[in-house]
Structure 1
Amino acid sequence: MALELSKTSWVCAFAVPGDNKATAHKIKARDVDRLISILNSSETKAEHQLSRPLRIVLCYEVGYDGFWLARLLMARGIRTVVFDPASFLMPRRGRRAKTDRLDAEGMTRTLRTWLSGDREVARDVLIPSVWSKKTQSASSASESTSSKSAPASSGASKGCWRCTGFGSTANALARGCWNVST
């Protein structure tokens, strides 16, 4: 299964092993309960169709939503692969249609190829733990405020915190309401 994530909606595409056609579902962004429901129903249908147990593998491109979704899905036992969007092999000639649905369907083919062992089609990204990301962000925010090279409220700092789900913590840092040295 592949996800194409945007701020307002997610497109999830599921392809049964051995079938080139992917079915796509559009859901509201961050609607994890609906996503899990689609995952479960797709898995059940595919197992029935193939008459054997399957293990769902889900992928998406790292971006605005960061890694919180991967951590959540892995905590629920779903193997999750996060790809670097700049690493996808793309045809050099001509223009191609670009929609979230087509991107999600294409990503299912990329995932299938990647899982079969061809790591040249895309590069996966290491998913940091919440703790390591929080520590890294706090330490760089501490260094930047002490050296006066960049304010703690810079867009990059807020972006790092938002990706980990700690957006309000970045604002607290900017106001000096939270001690990062501990």
Structure 2
Amino acid sequence: MPVDHGSTPTAIQINLGAIFVSLELSRSLWLITSLSPGAGEKMSKHSVRGGDVAGLLMRFAQLQEKARARTGQMFPIITVQEAGLDGFWIHRVLQDEGIESHVVDPASIATSRRQRRAKTDKIDGEALVRTLLAYKRGEPRVCAMVKAPTPEEEDQRRIGRERKTLIAERVQHVNRIKGLLFAQGIGDYEPLRRDRRERLEGLTTGDGRPLPRHLKTQIGRELDRLELLLEQIKAVEAERDTLLARIREVSAAQPAALLLGLKGIGAEFAALLWSEGMFRSFSNRRQVAAYAGLAPTPWKSGSVDREQGVSKAGNARLRTTMIQLAWLWLRHQPASALSRWFHQRIARNGGRLKKPMIVALARKLLIALWKYTTAGVVIEGAVAT
């Protein structure tokens, strides 16, 4: 499709009333792109060393002084940055300095659909400034701003996330030990049993030989690491249980305490659901499903009308937890309306499509749990512990 690059667009008249700044953050360099009143349409670009907060604030002061020299007024600064590995500490520093700061979901910013598109920090910085301008003008759905959690909320999520990491490491060590022994014809050794050390001493290979000396030493070191992981998992779970007990003592109406009262939801699920999603405030059920990445993604154009599945654009930990909980819900809450709906849909499909239906059940269950913990709407047919 031909594009007319020669015509000069009419300048957009915008009453800025502020200095709009975007931050492109990296480990070594922070690129500052700004659009100031009185500077026309040209965006200025400066850089400071990565992590140099004092240098960043000094650059902001210089931008304000230049704008004051041009217009005779002092303008506030409004910043935007992408959510990423830097977390929210820079956002909190700017807010503590009285600067209006925003954190944007980078996937929500419109980009060129060309197969080969240019991408540099300069281009990204200018795109962020334009996005911030549109957002402040009130343009609908121009981007999705991230609601930064408080330091306490962010810290409480560490327990569940650390346990998940430790469990994954435990699986790796168990599989490695089993793989080493299987190559010697041994397939009945369980590294998680309490008598793992004693059983290791009595193992013989498939051809009747004792375990080779170096192999036994290697497995012994793997068991050392495995036992350390088991102790750390116990410590994390004890910390989680202490936190949940403290919450229940404060108020039985807290989301985590209410979740623990339902059959089939234990301490781990209650802690994950609360720390990953239920602590936030949502306006409607669509926001709840979208936050977990369980919102539908239709493809409709003309006569084409098909469903592409869930978006998977939200909190992956919450989404995974809900799908696991959906299977457990069918087992522990078979008389609930949600379980009956699932079985009716499966029967209608001749017993097929269980996996797509379990995702749909996870979405319905998440919304039902949100209504239950926030508005006290009882889940029909659910049994309490």
Indicate which of 79, 89, 93 corresponds to 1:58.
79
Q: CA deviation at 1:113?
A: 1.2
Corresponding residue for 1:73?
94
Compare CA radii of gyration and give the structure with the larger one: 2
Corresponding residue for 1:161?
none
TM-score of the superposed pair, with normalisation by structure 2:
0.38
Instruction: State the one-letter code of the partner of 2:98.
Output: G
Distance in 1 separating the partners of 2:169 and 2:89: 25
The alignment yields a C-alpha RMSD, in angstroms, of: 2.8
The structure carrying a bigger helix percent of its residues is 2
Are the counterparts in 2 of residues 24 and 105 from structure 1 also a CA contact under 8 Å?
no
Corresponding residue for 1:114?
135
Distance in 2 separating the partners of 1:95 and 1:43: 37
Q: CA deviation at 1:27?
A: 1.6
Matches within 5 A, 1:156-175: none
User: Per-residue CA shift, 1:100-139, capped at 9, x if unaligned?
Assistant: 1221122111111111111422211011111110012124
Does 1 or 2 have the higher relative contact order (CA < 8 Å, sep 6+)? 1
Q: CA deviation at 1:94?
A: 5.6
SS of equivalent residue, structure 2 residue 31? strand
Distance in 2 separating the partners of 1:94 and 1:47: 43
Structure 1 portions without partners, runs of 5+: 153-173
Q: Would you say 1:104 and 2:125 are equivalent positions?
A: yes
Are the counterparts in 2 of residues 8 and 28 from structure 1 also a CA contact under 8 Å?
yes
Distance in 1 separating the partners of 2:160 and 2:114: 45
Q: CA deviation at 1:64?
A: 1.4
Corresponding residue for 1:15?
35
Q: Would you say 1:85 and 2:103 are equivalent positions?
A: no
Q: CA deviation at 1:54?
A: 1.4
Matches within 5 A, 1:125-136: 125-136=146-157
Query: Percent identical across equivalent pairs?
Result: 33
TM-score of the superposed pair, with normalisation by structure 1:
0.76
Are the counterparts in 2 of residues 11 and 26 from structure 1 also a CA contact under 8 Å?
yes
Corresponding residue for 1:34?
55
